[in-house]
Structure 1
């Protein structure tokens, strides 16, 4: 049937050029149509293999981010042989709606964090139920949610982009800590605010940076790997840098910071990657729940940090807001400028800028609450979450529109 179809589609002028006799015309048409059909079939198979190879080489989280929605649409629109949707199609449609709802909640994370902080500021009693035990559980679930977006095999992808990954890692743990120290001195912050600002500047990149990078049309694979690398390195880097830089303001328990960081960062991330590697069906079941849980956790923990010192923040809130804004503005700016100076492409530079500018502020809130005596130390960390979320979202929108206009031109 395929051969007959290709013969019928053979252009008429080609048939006349094939020979002079009627039988010869048919044989020539058959010969040309057959080879045209085989060439088309072979090229289709080659393109399919290339696409499949490229698809399989991507980290699992990136395959899901870029191709998940298209796959769901294709499956949801599938029609069975009797013209009716199957039960499986209905289940896939329900799951796609559930995933879309979770994505909508996650995309609006700056709004939820802002609402949490405003609630903590205006009605501190709303967070009286948040105990240290709930705080530890929330941050552990957030880090576990990041871990299940990775597999142990994905980490090997880092070797395919060593220059980008090294540049981003170096800027993450140099630009932000130095900026935190300089902003603290420039604004002459009180010791407790300075310690909190420096602490959050020494934290790893935040998981929300992956979403912002995707919106900004950056290098999402690099974003995921940078977040994973900086998070794993935070076990050593965050306590070390905090002790060195914030130690001049307040006493810093470096050993306690190291232990807590291992408990709430390293172990959950590795556990999540292990589950995704060896129990993918379980991860597929729970993964749509994790982004909304993470967003809700960040909003509650930041609101709780604000609520504990609401009166003092109302008196000096402008100073904290200015300090956090300057910190993250410098991270976004210098992250892009320095990475461009190394000769990286624009997509990678946008990614590094977002990774450097956006911190894991909720980790700073947890560490400040547990290891610093003054509750005001956690305030810059909470305000930081609002600032980098808003700045990152605005910057991603600007970059996305600029890319769209360039493509149209």
Structure 2
């Protein structure tokens, strides 16, 4: 989900001439800490839930509330100018959104078929692929010297489209595995995602000074929320973890890694620059796993939420590694050009 987000108004260190080294900026240090700490906390939450499942099962009825709080916090970080990029640079935004909602769902189906996953796990992988982009992608884009403003816009637009596209894609691709109530899923996304995000945006517009004061705390609100979601999901999936944990991890690693790769080359083949291609790569590979886990747990069997729970841990670890690679690549190109 969202370990931290650089402010949408923060200048991208890759393009801010005359600024100090991004590795020394407070925003960069904060983002690095969050990206490091977040997967550790999520892993700790998963381990706790696995060994103390009774505690996690008590939280299960409240997962939709936790997700709503996370999405409200996301809305508080948004401003109207975040959406202006759609008008100024529509092509890279369109490429990112289409790749997000085309490549990842089809990859999910392909991996489910390749690994011959049982129905609950197959639906879980497909649902992860059909979810919108995760807001932790904004931090990874920032650390990768990609286009942070483009990343924020892609995440915001894909999230607003989720009530329509996520249920339709899940019905289309996962309906052969298990019955899918697309209407009920769409209404759940409206309640858990769309209303909180729009509500947060409105509050930011009306009370901007007050919201600015609490912005530093919002990433940790999201960390706490997704940790509670993971505790609830894992506690109901202990048997599935024991019997199928390894195959689910393989599915998640393949899904995430191929998403990065195909997202990058989709942008490059459509004549986008290096920074836009990195951004698309990150946006396509990183999913709103908290939403996928909550939907899977409520609409299907608890085991269907397991891929999303593992994805939440893995994509933050892999994203941090990808950021290191992209960053070093950008610095090498800069030194070669000099």
Partners of 1:163 and 1:193 in 2: how far apart? 35
Partner of 1:92: none
**Once the 2 structures are TM-superposed, how far is the Cα of residue 106 of structure 1 from its aligned partner?**
5.4
Helix, strand or coil at the partner of 2:10: helix
Partner of 1:182: 110
Query: CA separation of 1:183/1:98 partners in 2, compared to 1, >3 Å: closer, same or farther?
Result: closer
Partners of 2:312 and 2:254 in 1: how far apart? 13
Q: 2:310 aligns with which of 366, 383, 395?
A: 383
- What 5-or-longer segments of structure 1 have no aligned partner? 1-59, 71-95
**Once the 2 structures are TM-superposed, how far is the Cα of residue 313 of structure 1 from its aligned partner?**
1.0
Larger radius of gyration: 1
- In the TM superposition, structure 1's runs of 4+ consecutive aligned residues that sit over 6 Å from their partners are 96-103
Partner of 1:404: 331
Query: CA separation of 1:98/1:216 partners in 2, compared to 1, >3 Å: closer, same or farther?
Result: closer
**Once the 2 structures are TM-superposed, how far is the Cα of residue 353 of structure 1 from its aligned partner?**
0.4
**Once the 2 structures are TM-superposed, how far is the Cα of residue 66 of structure 1 from its aligned partner?**
4.9
Aligned ranges 1:8-407 → 2 under 5 Å: 61-64=7-10, 66=12, 104-105=33-34, 107-133=36-62, 135-372=63-300, 374-407=301-334
Q: TM-score, normalised on structure 2?
A: 0.89
Contact 1:239/1:255 (<8 A) preserved: yes
**Once the 2 structures are TM-superposed, how far is the Cα of residue 365 of structure 1 from its aligned partner?**
0.8
**Once the 2 structures are TM-superposed, how far is the Cα of residue 131 of structure 1 from its aligned partner?**
3.5
Query: CA separation of 1:248/1:269 partners in 2, compared to 1, >3 Å: closer, same or farther?
Result: same
Partners of 1:100 and 1:273 in 2: how far apart? 26
Q: TM-score, normalised on structure 1?
A: 0.74
Helix, strand or coil at the partner of 2:179: coil
Partners of 2:88 and 2:281 in 1: how far apart? 20
Partners of 2:28 and 2:136 in 1: how far apart? 17
Q: Could you list the per-position Cα deviations for residues 75-110 of structure 1 after superposition, in whole angstroms to 9, with x for gaps in the alignment?
A: xxxxxxxxxxxxxxxxxxxxx999977973455222
> Once superposed, what is the RMSD of the aligned Cα atoms?
2.3
Contact 1:106/1:295 (<8 A) preserved: no
Q: Report the more deviating stretch, 192-201 or 98-107.
A: 98-107
Q: Report the more deviating stretch, 251-260 or 280-289.
A: 280-289
Aligned residues: 322
**Once the 2 structures are TM-superposed, how far is the Cα of residue 120 of structure 1 from its aligned partner?**
2.1
Query: CA separation of 1:182/1:101 partners in 2, compared to 1, >3 Å: closer, same or farther?
Result: closer
Partner of 1:5: none
Helix, strand or coil at the partner of 1:173: helix
**Once the 2 structures are TM-superposed, how far is the Cα of residue 385 of structure 1 from its aligned partner?**
1.0
Partner of 2:3: none
Helix, strand or coil at the partner of 2:8: helix
- What 5-or-longer segments of structure 2 have no aligned partner? 1-5, 17-24
**Once the 2 structures are TM-superposed, how far is the Cα of residue 152 of structure 1 from its aligned partner?**
2.6
